[in-house]
Amino acid sequence: MNETEIIAGLKQGNEAAFKELVDSHRQIVVNTCFGLLHNISDAEDVAQEVFIEVFRSVDKFRADSKISTWLYRIAVNRSFNFIRDNKKRKFHSYNELSESKKELLNQQVQEGADTPESDMENNQRKIILHEAVDALPQNQRVAFTLNKYEDLSYKEISDVMNLSVSSVESLIHRAKKNLQKKLYHCFKKKCI
Amino acid sequence: MNCRNIHKRLVFFLEGDIPEPEAEEIAKHLVQCPTCAAFAEDLKKTLQIVQLEKLPAVNPFFYTRLKARMQKEAEGVVQPAGFQLWGKVLQPALFSMLLLIGIYTGIKIGQPVSGGESTIDYAAQELIPYLNEMEAEPLEAFLME
């Protein structure tokens, strides 16, 4: 089934077309949501909302863009709605770790090697990276996530975000600089 | 190029986003400067986390769960008419009735059993003589004996 047939099927309420759409696009939707939410369970919940919205508002879809562009757009909006509605959620930050845990982590990093300890180091790095990405301005965060987690080109990102390619380029450039600044700050404080 | 300038360009160096001559200059600096080299290594490891996180395994029952959720939401849309009638009218009415029945039962239990004659008269005539011996046998009569 190609995109046109899927859209036509969806407009007629065809379940097979909907299943085809979900099966062929669920990975990119979940991945995008995961890049913004950093939690697989939340990402799947939001991805479900994305497909429900697509099913209900398929009549509004204009055939001048790809389905994936539309899905990315809804996924980004839904993810930010989710973040806004769940602001009370607390993320564990490195600063909350006790001194003894910091010492243990430092010791494990020095030992290196492919051990559970290096998994722990990776987990620590994940937390630091997520905090740094979450602290980015919204547009930079979206552009960075679509570029890094979905490997979208600047042109594809510009379609999703309704911006020019040069604006996307600038957003990603600034996002990387901001990330580097935050990570350097963490490096100086010896977070890991 | 000093350390400060290196720090500003390191992320672009690691991502291969800078021209060749500048990249060579940074690479040379990293060999000579252990602090910058350590930061470069740290930054590289942290940025690689994105690659590890890419494509999380999606639940194989994703579609089944999605359909179940859609069905539940569809039922939720149909439900409100009956649900509102129950929630807003029938439920308060039921609880009010239960409250009134409770009050009525309480009043009925609290009421003394009424016989043919007044309870005060019954107590005065039948019970007090047995309970209050002083009245049956006054003190004067006791002392006289």
Domains, in order of start, for chain A: 1-89 (1.10.1740.10), 93-192 (1.10.10.10)
B70 domain residue, yes or no? no
B78 domain residue, yes or no? no
Token pair of B23 as six digits:
């990249």
What does the pLDDT look like over A94-112, one tens digit per residue?
444 444 444 444 544 454 4
B29 domain residue, yes or no? yes
H/E element, A62 = none
What does the pLDDT look like over A19-57, one tens digit per residue?
999 999 999 999 999 999 998 899 999 999 999 999 988
B9 domain residue, yes or no? yes
Q: B15 contacts in A (CB within 8 Å)?
A: 176
> Is residue A182 a contact partner of residue A132, using CB atoms and an 8 Å limit?
yes
B106 domain residue, yes or no? no
Note the pTM of the prediction, 2 decimals: 0.69
H/E element, A21 = helix A15-37
Token pair of A165 as six digits:
């390619």
Q: Which of B11, B30, B53 is the last residue of a domain?
A: B53
B77 domain residue, yes or no? no
What does the pLDDT look like over A7-22, one tens digit per residue?
888 888 888 999 999 9
Using CB atoms and an 8 Å cut-off, which of residues 60-99 of chain A contact chain B? none
Among A31, A66, A40, A49, smallest CA distance to A147 is for A31
Closest CB to B63: pick one of A22, A27, A52.
A22
Q: Does A192 touch chain B (CB under 8 A)?
A: yes
Contact B59 A47 (CB under 8 A): no
> Is residue B56 a contact partner of residue A34, using CB atoms and an 8 Å limit?
yes
Instruction: Tell me what the pLDDT averaged over chain B comes to.
Output: 81
Smallest Cα distance from B59 to chain A, Å: 8
> Is residue B7 a contact partner of residue A184, using CB atoms and an 8 Å limit?
yes
B72 domain residue, yes or no? no
Q: A190 contacts in B (CB within 8 Å)?
A: none
Range of the domain at B122: 116-145
Q: Does B23 touch chain A (CB under 8 A)?
A: no
Q: A55 contacts in B (CB within 8 Å)?
A: 70
**Distance, CA of B145 to CA of B140 (rounded, Å):** 9
- How many domains, chain B? 2
B92 domain residue, yes or no? no
Q: Does A16 touch chain B (CB under 8 A)?
A: no
Token pair of B109 as six digits:
């239990």
> Is residue A190 a contact partner of residue A106, using CB atoms and an 8 Å limit?
yes
Task: Count CB-CB contacts under 10 A for residue A70.
Answer: 22
* Packing angle of the helix pair A165-188, A154-161 (nearest 10 deg): 100
